[in-house]
């Protein structure tokens, strides 16, 4: 890197870093932030050595070469999920989830609307979503390739993505919560320990609301509450909820299935921003899953409003005795963000956000507290060390190191957990900071290949930078975000690639490609509406309801004319009889808001009111054949 570039890079970092710190200082946070002293550790502001040309593993994949990892990426307030190939960074798929998608017909077909939920008029119940956290199902402490889950923060929904088709198959709306943010599947059944795979998904909610939220207690925030939710991984039904003091944010689960936890930045129960920062310490709340399920079995629960979901009491007042407690509140410094489980299954790391520290909590000690064998919950903290300004999320390499994003410092800090524990235990010679790397700029989430499994392999680290500033051609006021790829195989982190991404990915996971086995074509037997044979194609009328049983086989639709009358309610059921992988057809009707695809051996349907007389050429939108353009059918709506 040329010297001028280094200088301009530093000044760009300063620009953003300073304005962000000033923003926080303006609301009285400067004291907490400037409390970061480096002591024996490397200075947070010190620039990491510029990567030499060619240093680090080459992430480039030659034409025709496959990637080594799937990256399952959140799409943020685009409402979708994305699939990248890593290390190349090539985007392979966008999975519509909480958004509308006119390529696949998500939000347009009857099948997708049934998953999304509809209003009485048949339109989707919600049109917007905000995905933050993607996590996948486990067996034996590693990914098993069945499912991924992603949350919708806006409307408190949990979506499940099948990893054989990379499509959303179920969406569950959580009752009586708002700001559903953190999500994490369990890694083993806490009750039946012989079931060594994901059985439940845990959901933390950020915003506290009146219970039920029906117009009462509007001006009494002290009566608001926040619920932790447990969803069944298979049925996607909400199994139970647990009321907590304060709020929740991100979620982590232990490898033995016994514990789930969520960081809390609002133990104050503040309704205004300043109130949420008045306490010096907030908390990480732990849930004793087996005890909660026993309480539900024993009928020790209430329900809220119209919801039938059992709600147990996890508040501090109701859980003072550790031996019966459902929850434990571990105090951690000011407004923490992010809780992550280390791949050795021993620790949860809570990042400080407004404190320059990360807190290491030992899980065996938390279990000991629940057993009455540890007198003080604070003793579960085995390290609390300074890392730099604005620590948010932590990833792991499987070699004992954590990689934490420093939002304000625009850095990744690599630190050794064992050394941090020694340092906190009094060994001031213990050097826990291993390396620092400047990133561009203001990183939020970070994750490493297989980081959240027992098979963390320490190959690649991806960093989700919230600001790309001037690293890409300008496209107007809105810039893309910047996903950076870092080689973490050596002692030093080496930044090897940048990729622009459409806002705003938050979390992501990096899964070895052999963990995922996808289907090549669908199975017609899975679709109740599918025609058995293209010869069965027909148009049926029942009063003013017209059903078109349509087949596609390149390059033709089975019905060349579809004749209906103005005012008819028309349902088109399209079965794609092509059997070749990727031989997909589309079906679009001008002026009727209809557009969707059918993949090989798949069936989809749409229903619309034929309210506009005229001729409408229904055409195949998906290039399928030399005669793709000729693949048409005429919708004739008689007046
Ligand atoms: S939150 Cu976005 S940077 Cu929603 Cu995971 Cu931390
Ligand atoms: Cu069928 Cu294009
Ligand atoms: Ca707080």
Instruction: Give yes or no for residue 113 CB within 6 A of ligand 1.
Output: no
Q: Give a yes or no: residue 357 inside a domain.
A: no
Is the pLDDT score of 123 beyond 80? yes
Q: Give a yes or no: residue 446 inside a domain.
A: yes
pLDDT given at position 56 = 81
**Confidence at 29, pLDDT banded by 50, 70, 90:** very low
Q: Whose CA is nearest to atom 3 of ligand 1?
A: 444
Nearest ligand to the CA atom of 180: 1
| 169 CA distance to ligand 1 middle (Å) | 25
Is the pLDDT score of 31 beyond 70? no
Q: What angle do CA 254, 260, 265 make, to 5 degrees?
A: 125
Same domain, yes or no, for 461 and 595?
Answer: no
**Confidence at 402, pLDDT banded by 50, 70, 90:** very high
Selection from 261, 273, 193, 267 nearest residue 228 by Cα: 261
* Residues 96, 168: Cα–Cα separation, whole Å: 8
Q: Given 486, 518, 550, which residue is the final one in a domain?
A: 518
Q: Is 313 exposed, middle or buried (0-12, 13-18, 19+ CB in 10 A)?
A: middle
Instruction: Give yes or no for residue 597 CB within 6 A of ligand 2.
Output: no
Q: Order of strands, edge to edge, in the sheet holding 347-351?
A: 339-341, 347-351, 357-362, 381-386
Mutate to test the pocket of ligand 1, among 506, 508, 509 (most ligand atoms within 8 A of CB): 506
CATH of the domain at 609: 2.60.40.420
Q: Which helix (H) or strand (E) holds 435?
A: strand 433-438
Instruction: Give yes or no for residue 623 CB within 6 A of ligand 2.
Output: yes
Instruction: Give yes or no for residue 445 CB within 6 A of ligand 1.
Output: yes
How confident is the model over 488-497, as pLDDT tens digits?
A: 999 999 999 9
Selection from 347, 106, 304, 346 nearest residue 216 by Cα: 304
| 442 CA distance to ligand 1 middle (Å) | 12
Same domain, yes or no, for 9 and 129?
Answer: yes
How confident is the model over 376-385, as pLDDT tens digits?
A: 999 999 999 9
* Residues 379, 628: Cα–Cα separation, whole Å: 68
Q: Whose CA is nearest to atom 1 of ligand 1?
A: 506
| 410 CA distance to ligand 3 middle (Å) | 23
Q: Whose CA is nearest to atom 2 of ligand 1?
A: 506
pLDDT given at position 52 = 46
Q: Give a yes or no: residue 308 inside a domain.
A: no
Counting the structural domains of the chain, the total is: 2
Q: What letter does residue 366 receive in the DSSP assignment?
A: H
Ligand 1, residue 393: give the atom nearest the CA.
6
**Spatial CB neighbours of 550, under 8 Å, sequence gap ≥ 6:** 537, 557, 558, 559, 562, 572, 573, 574, 575, 587, 633
Nearest ligand to the CA atom of 621: 2
Instruction: Give yes or no for residue 363 CB within 6 A of ligand 2.
Output: no
**Confidence at 47, pLDDT banded by 50, 70, 90:** very low
Is the pLDDT score of 143 beyond 70? yes
Is the pLDDT score of 22 beyond 80? no
By the 8 A CB rule, do 66 and 86 touch?
A: no
Same domain, yes or no, for 474 and 574?
Answer: no
pLDDT given at position 55 = 67
How confident is the model over 247-299, as pLDDT tens digits?
A: 999 999 999 999 999 999 999 999 999 999 999 999 999 999 999 999 999 99
Q: Which helix (H) or strand (E) holds 10?
A: helix 3-25
Same domain, yes or no, for 445 and 588?
Answer: no
| 252 CA distance to ligand 2 middle (Å) | 45
Q: Give a yes or no: residue 193 inside a domain.
A: no
3 state SS for 507-561: CEEEEEHHHCCCCCCCCHHHCCCCCCCHHHCEEEEECCEEEEEEEEECCEECCCE
Residue 112: Cβ within 10 Å count: 22
Nearest ligand to the CA atom of 249: 1
Q: Give a yes or no: residue 284 inside a domain.
A: no
Is the pLDDT score of 598 beyond 50? yes
Q: What letter does residue 146 receive in the DSSP assignment?
A: E
Is the pLDDT score of 474 beyond 70? yes
Same domain, yes or no, for 504 and 553?
Answer: no
Helices (H), 210-360: 289-297
Q: Which domain, by its residues, includes 34?
A: 1-161+387-518
Same domain, yes or no, for 92 and 153?
Answer: yes
Instruction: Give yes or no for residue 628 CB within 6 A of ligand 2.
Output: yes
| 586 CA distance to ligand 2 middle (Å) | 6
Same domain, yes or no, for 69 and 130?
Answer: yes
| 17 CA distance to ligand 1 middle (Å) | 19
Instruction: Give yes or no for residue 133 CB within 6 A of ligand 1.
Output: yes
By the 8 A CB rule, do 342 and 349 touch?
A: yes
Ligand 2, residue 622: give the atom nearest the CA.
2
Ligand 2, residue 628: give the atom nearest the CA.
2
Instruction: Give yes or no for residue 337 CB within 6 A of ligand 1.
Output: yes
How confident is the model over 326-346, as pLDDT tens digits?
A: 999 999 999 999 999 999 999
Q: Given 491, 518, 545, which residue is the final one in a domain?
A: 518
Instruction: Give yes or no for residue 554 CB within 6 A of ligand 2.
Output: yes
| 384 CA distance to ligand 3 middle (Å) | 17
Same domain, yes or no, for 413 and 547?
Answer: no
Round the average pLDDT of the chain to a whole number and report it: 93
By the 8 A CB rule, do 421 and 27 touch?
A: no
Same domain, yes or no, for 44 and 96?
Answer: yes
| 519 CA distance to ligand 2 middle (Å) | 21
Q: Given 477, 499, 518, which residue is the final one in a domain?
A: 518
| 624 CA distance to ligand 2 middle (Å) | 4
Selection from 65, 87, 92 nearest residue 485 by Cα: 87
CATH of the domain at 407: 2.130.10.10
Is the pLDDT score of 320 beyond 60? yes
Instruction: Give yes or no for residue 444 CB within 6 A of ligand 1.
Output: yes
Same domain, yes or no, for 486 and 587?
Answer: no
Same domain, yes or no, for 499 and 548?
Answer: no
By the 8 A CB rule, do 277 and 287 touch?
A: no
Ligand 1, residue 250: give the atom nearest the CA.
5
Same domain, yes or no, for 394 and 461?
Answer: yes
Q: Give a yes or no: residue 262 inside a domain.
A: no
Q: Whose CA is nearest to atom 1 of ligand 2?
A: 585
Q: Give a yes or no: residue 573 inside a domain.
A: yes
Instruction: Give yes or no for residue 181 CB within 6 A of ligand 1.
Output: yes
| 494 CA distance to ligand 1 middle (Å) | 24
Q: Give a yes or no: residue 214 inside a domain.
A: no
What pTM does this model have? 0.92
In this structure, what token pair is assigned to residue 18? 């300073």
How confident is the model over 542-559, as pLDDT tens digits?
A: 999 999 999 999 999 999
Is the pLDDT score of 5 beyond 50? no
Cα 300 to chain centroid distance, Å, stands at: 32
Instruction: Give yes or no for residue 551 CB within 6 A of ligand 2.
Output: no
Nearest ligand to the CA atom of 586: 2
């Amino acid at each position: 890197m040329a010297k001028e570039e280094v200088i301009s890079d530093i000044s760009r970092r300063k620009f953003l870093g300073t304005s962000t710190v000033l923003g926080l200082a303006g609301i009285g946070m400067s004291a907490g932030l400037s409390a970061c002293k480096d002591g024996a550790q490397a200075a947070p502001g010190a620039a990491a050595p510029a990567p030499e040309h060619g240093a680090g593993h080459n992430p480039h994949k030659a034409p025709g070469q496959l990637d080594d990892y799937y990256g399952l990426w959140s799409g943020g307030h685009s409402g979708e999920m994305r699939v990248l190939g890593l290390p190349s960074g090539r985007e392979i798929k966008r999975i519509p989830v909480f958004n509308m998608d006119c390529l696949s017909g998500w939000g347009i077909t009857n099948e997708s609307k049934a998953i999304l939920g509809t209003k009485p008029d048949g339109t989707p119940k919600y049109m917007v979503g905000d995905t933050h956290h993607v996590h996948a199902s486990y067996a034996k402490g590693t990914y098993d390739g069945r499912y991924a889950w992603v949350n919708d923060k806006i409307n408190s929904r949990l979506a499940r993505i099948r990893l054989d088709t990379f499509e959303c198959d179920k969406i569950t709306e959580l009752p009586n919560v708002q700001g559903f943010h953190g999500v994490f599947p369990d890694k083993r059944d806490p009750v039946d320990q012989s079931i060594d795979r994901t059985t439940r998904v845990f959901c933390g909610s950020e915003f506290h609301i009146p219970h039920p939220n029906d117009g009462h207690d509007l001006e009494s925030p002290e009566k608001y509450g926040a619920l932790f939710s447990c969803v069944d991984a298979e049925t996607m039904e909400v199994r139970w909820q647990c009321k907590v003091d304060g709020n929740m944010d991100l979620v982590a689960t232990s490898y033995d299935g016994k514990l789930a936890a969520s960081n809390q930045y609002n133990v104050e129960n503040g309704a205004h921003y300043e109130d949420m920062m008045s306490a010096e310490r907030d908390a990480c709340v732990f849930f004793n899953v087996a005890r909660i399920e026993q309480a539900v079995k024993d009928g020790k629960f209430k329900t809220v409003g119209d919801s039938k979901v059992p709600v147990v009491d996890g508040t501090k007042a109701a859980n003072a005795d550790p031996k019966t407690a459902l929850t434990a509140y571990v105090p951690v410094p000011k407004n923490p963000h992010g809780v992550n489980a280390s791949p050795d299954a021993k620790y949860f790391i809570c990042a400080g956000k407004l404190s320059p520290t990360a807190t290491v909590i030992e899980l065996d000690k938390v279990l000991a507290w629940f057993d009455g064998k540890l007198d003080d919950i604070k003793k579960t903290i085995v390290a609390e060390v300074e890392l730099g300004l604005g620590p948010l999320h932590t990833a792991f390499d499987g070699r004992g190191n954590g990689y934490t994003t420093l939002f304000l410092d625009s850095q990744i800090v690599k630190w050794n957990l064992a050394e941090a524990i020694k340092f906190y235990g009094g060994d001031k010679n213990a050097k826990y900071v291993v390396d620092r790397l400047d990133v561009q700029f203001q990183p939020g989430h970070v994750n490493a290949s297989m980081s959240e499994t027992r098979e963390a392999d320490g190959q690649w680290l991806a960093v989700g930078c919230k600001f790309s500033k001037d690293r890409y051609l300008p496209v107007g006021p809105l810039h893309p975000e910047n996903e950076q790829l870092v080689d973490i195989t050596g002692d030093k982190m080496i930044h090897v690639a940048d990729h622009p991404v459409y806002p705003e990915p938050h979390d992501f996971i990096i899964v070895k490609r052999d963990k995922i086995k996808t289907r090549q074509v669908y199975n017609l037997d899975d679709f109740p509406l599918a025609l058995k044979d293209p010869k069965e194609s027909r148009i049926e009328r029942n009063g003013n309801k017209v059903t078109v049983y349509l087949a596609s086989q390149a390059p033709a639709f089975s019905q060349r004319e579809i004749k209906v009358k103005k005012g008819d309610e028309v349902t088109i059921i399209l079965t794609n009889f092509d059997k070749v992988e990727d031989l997909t057809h589309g079906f679009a009707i001008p002026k009727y808001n209809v557009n969707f695809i059918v993949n090989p051996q798949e069936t989809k349907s749409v229903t619309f009111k034929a309210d506009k007389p005229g001729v409408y050429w229904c055409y195949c939108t998906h290039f399928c054949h030399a005669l793709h353009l000729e693949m048409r059918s005429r919708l004739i709506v008689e007046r």
